[in-house]
Amino acid sequence: MTFAAPLFLIAALAGVIPPVLHMIHRQKAVTVHFSTLRFLRLSVERTRRRKYVDDLALMLLRVAALVLVAVGLARPAVTSLQVLWGKGAATAVVVILDNSASMAIMDAGQPRFETARKSAEQVLDVLRDGDSVALLLTDGPVSPEQGRLYHKHETVRQALAQAKLSYERADLAGKLQQARSLLTQADTTHREIYVVTDNQSISWEGLRAQDEEPAEKTPEVPVVLIKVNRDPMPNVALRNIRIQMPAPVAGVPIQASLEVLNTSSIPLQKHLELHIDGTKEAVSPTLNLAPGCALRHEFRFTLDRAGVHRGEVRLAEEDGSPLDNRLYFALTLDQQIAVAIVKSRRHEIPYAEDSFYLERALGPGRSGNSAVRVRSLLAEELAAEMLGDYAIIFCVNLPAPDPSVAERLRDYVRAGGHLFWICGPNVQADAYNRMNESIGKQLLPAELAALRQPAKGGSESWHIGSLEKDHPALAPLAEPASLYQSVLIYKHFPLAPEADGRVLARLDDGQPLLAERAVGAGSVFLLGTGVHVDWTNLPLKPLFLPLFARLVFHAAGAEAARSQVQAGSPLLVPLGNSARGTEIEVVHPSGNTLRLRTPEKDASVFRYGDTHEAGIYLVHQNDPRQPKTFIFAVNPDPEEADPAQISQEELKNRFGRQPLLFCDDPDDLAGTIHRLREGKSLWEFFLAAVLAGLVLEAYLANCLGGKRLPMPVKPAPSGTRSEIAVTENPLAFLEKE
């Protein structure tokens, strides 16, 4: 048991006042002479005994009332019965410190994270010898000191001093679950969790799922929520940057668009700057931002040099948070997109080849300039060709490749290449399906069924009924519908797409005609018909050129989309077959270089997870046969700019029966911690006892006063005269006879 104001216990000495007052005001017995005592002696003895009991009870009630008042004013409390038995005095504490991107906002003159750090130090200050404590950061790399209970508090203080802000989103619900699991390992009765945060709504998204679990599975550990958001400085956040370009080659126009969000309650005017490879290239006009609203701004530029480029959009002025004032993007441009068109043989008459129309569509125009560089190969040349040199490989009307070539094509796709199968008379459905099955179903997006074609002498045909409107390459071709509905298909293989495949075009009877599927870091396409006029009139239609050109640009530009990474997400580096077991060099935005080894086998992608810092990352793959450099742009979580707060009522509903305390003053935690440490207050119990005692005392005093008992009589000493002593003192029975 503990007392919030133990000095009031001195007032319990007031319990001696009633006996003392009664003793002071006692009176000596008065002698009254009677003629005889024969009939009074027996009555006097009975009256003395009953009066003794009544007066003693009345005095004890008055003493108890004064003592209970004194104890109640001392504010007694008890945390558990074990404390009363002298057990479990130590406390196990877990401090959850929010270090997400929103904690960088200037609030009440300093960053929220600094306020949070000082609040965590206050929690450590109240710990006693024997208490254990653990520190959990919501984001960033996990240090050895995190996630462990320490009796040596200085270890946690050092970890707290070294804690840094992250660009990621906080998952307070997940950390709360981890803290509760950690406290179940503590051999103490008292357990406490302190959450120091700015209380963003997105940080508590996972809490509702925890409340659905049975209550008995979740230990009832009191949680103290320390809010550090008070008076934030006006802030503008940059988020959701998108890079668009017709093709990832030098000389084509590029568009960078981003969202500018005013998170404050007042209108603001800001400017943006575009930097390419460390040079300022453009400045935006004045952007008028309404309170709580967002707008999109676009920069248009052209890069004339092929290679790796670093891009950055900055907020020109300072504001509440420096962590959301920059967005990064990375570009890898080629002079031309390298495309291989593989065919079964070369014909003496060029237009008789199945690939004739495709080569003309993707090859250079009359001026000799083109974004695509096409090379024609024969099927037997695939075994010795360096496949990684090509962004996309078209296999036109080929018999099913043998196992060794199929394995090379699979490794090419898993390492980031793109493979496009086009059917024709040399394609056998069963052979293709067996080839795909033997290679782990990683070369085709769909299985092929038996060939559909008109009966002899018939004129049956189908036309394209729909294109995938949500596909980035096909969306501009979906309107008008006449652009694709005029395409006739005379022969085709019906497709049965895999579960993770995507149908890009369908015939008028609903049969899939064109399918795509992601495999490793690359993708595979399958066109169920040919590209020769014997199978379809597609090569003669206006749709043909833009369809294949946009698919090529889409596949080649996938690297640009892959280079945009959110903080905390892994970098995915595609590996060729020869790159396994080689050295990988990772250069951080800070300039630190880390050397690692790629897996020896069974991996098509190398994953690097230390992306807690925003900026440009370079990954050098030291492949002895084909060294490569990959560039990645890591940006803050865009949701961290959302200033929405969760209310106390909503949090209480989500916590359910779990004890939850709120502290709105992070600079003074003593009162909140004191309320938590003093446990369950017994003040109500003592107040009820005092009131009950006073009522009983009043009732008893009234009864005794209403029914006046005969006054105690003291018999006179034996002698010649008969006399008794009578007294008005109600405590005369205390006198010794």
Average pLDDT for 409-438: 93
Q: What is the pLDDT of residues 510-543, one digit of tens each?
A: 999 999 999 988 899 999 999 989 899 999 999 9
129 and 190 belong to one structural domain: yes
pLDDT of 698 strictly over 60 = yes
Is position 125 within any domain?
yes
Q: What is the pLDDT of residues 312-344, one digit of tens each?
A: 999 999 999 999 999 999 998 888 899 999 998
pLDDT of 308 strictly over 60 = yes
pLDDT at 737: 40
pLDDT of 250 strictly over 70 = yes
pTM of the entire predicted model? 0.73
pLDDT at 33: 58
Average pLDDT for 654-678: 76
Question: Is the distance from CB of 618 to CB of 630 less than 8 angstroms?
Answer: yes
516 and 406 belong to one structural domain: yes
pLDDT at 247: 82
Instruction: Mark which of 319, 334, 349 sits at the end of a domain.
Output: 334
459 and 377 belong to one structural domain: yes
d(CA 55, CA 57): 5
Q: What is the pLDDT of residues 177-230, one digit of tens each?
A: 999 999 988 888 788 999 999 999 999 988 864 444 444 455 578 899 999 988
Tell me the percentage of the chain whose pLDDT exceeds 70.
78
Q: Sign of the CA dihedral 496, 492, 430, 395?
A: negative
CB burial of 222-248 (b: ≥16 within 10 Å; e: otherwise) equals bbbbbbbbeebebbbbbbebebebebb
484 and 599 belong to one structural domain: no
Residue appearing with tokens 């060294």: 627
pLDDT at 81: 38
Is position 476 within any domain?
yes
Is position 520 within any domain?
yes
Average pLDDT for 633-658: 90
Higher-confidence position of 53 and 254: 254
Q: Given pLDDT bands bounded at 50, 70 and 90, which one contains residue 354?
A: confident
Question: Is the distance from CB of 521 to CB of 628 less than 8 angstroms?
Answer: no
Of the candidate ranges 166-170, 456-460, 621-625, the one whose mean pLDDT is the lowest: 456-460
pLDDT of 670 strictly over 80 = no
pLDDT of 547 strictly over 90 = yes
CATH number at residue 268: 2.60.40.10
If one counts every other C-beta atom within 10 angstroms of the C-beta of residue 255, the result is 13
- Residues in Cβ contact with 678 at an 8 Å cutoff, skipping those fewer than 6 apart: 2, 4, 75, 77, 79
Q: Is residue 399 exposed (0-12), middle (13-18) or buried (19+ Cβ within 10 Å)? A: middle
CATH number at residue 551: 3.40.50.880
Is position 439 within any domain?
yes
502 and 369 belong to one structural domain: yes
Q: Given pLDDT bands bounded at 50, 70 and 90, which one contains residue 422?
A: very high
Q: What is the pLDDT of residues 462-499, one digit of tens each?
A: 999 999 998 988 988 988 999 999 999 999 999 998 87
pLDDT of 650 strictly over 50 = yes
354 and 491 belong to one structural domain: yes
pLDDT of 141 strictly over 50 = yes
Element (H, E) at 684: helix 683-706
The closest of 346, 509, 350, 512 to 423, measured between CA atoms, is 512
Q: Give how many domains the chain has, as a whole number.
A: 5
- Residues in Cβ contact with 1 at an 8 Å cutoff, skipping those fewer than 6 apart: 76, 77, 78, 83, 84, 682
**What rounded mean pLDDT belongs to the chain?**
82
109 and 228 belong to one structural domain: yes
Q: Given pLDDT bands bounded at 50, 70 and 90, which one contains residue 665?
A: confident
CATH number at residue 221: 3.40.50.410
If one counts every other C-beta atom within 10 angstroms of the C-beta of residue 371, the result is 21
pLDDT at 721: 47
pLDDT at 27: 52
50 and 95 belong to one structural domain: no
Two tokens, residue 398: 């080929």
Return phi, psi of residue 300, to 5°. Answer: -120, 135
Q: What is the pLDDT of residues 570-596, one digit of tens each?
A: 998 877 665 667 788 999 999 999 998
pLDDT of 38 strictly over 60 = no
Is position 640 within any domain?
no
Of the candidate ranges 155-169, 408-422, 539-553, 721-735, the one whose mean pLDDT is the lowest: 721-735
| Structural domain boundaries, residue 584 | 567-635
Average pLDDT for 672-685: 62
How many angstroms separate the Cα of 438 from the Cα of each of 404, 493, 699? Answer: 11, 21, 98
Q: What is the pLDDT of residues 90-110, one digit of tens each?
A: 889 999 999 999 999 999 889
Q: What is the pLDDT of residues 355-385, one digit of tens each?
A: 899 998 887 654 445 788 899 999 999 888 8
Instruction: Mark which of 285, 304, 334 sits at the end of a domain.
Output: 334
Q: Given pLDDT bands bounded at 50, 70 and 90, which one contains residue 505?
A: very high
3-state secondary structure of 218: coil
CATH number at residue 624: 2.60.40
Average pLDDT for 598-607: 73
If one counts every other C-beta atom within 10 angstroms of the C-beta of residue 339, the result is 25
pLDDT at 61: 72
Higher-confidence position of 126 and 436: 436
pLDDT at 627: 78
615 and 693 belong to one structural domain: no
542 and 589 belong to one structural domain: no
pLDDT at 284: 96
pLDDT at 586: 94
Higher-confidence position of 197 and 73: 197
615 and 669 belong to one structural domain: no
pLDDT of 259 strictly over 90 = yes
267 and 293 belong to one structural domain: yes
Is position 109 within any domain?
yes
- Residues in Cβ contact with 213 at an 8 Å cutoff, skipping those fewer than 6 apart: none
Instruction: Mark which of 279, 306, 334 sits at the end of a domain.
Output: 334
Among 213-217, 667-671, 712-716, which range has the highest average pLDDT? 667-671
Q: What is the largest CA-CA distance in the chain?
A: 166
Tell me the percentage of the chain whose pLDDT exceeds 90.
46
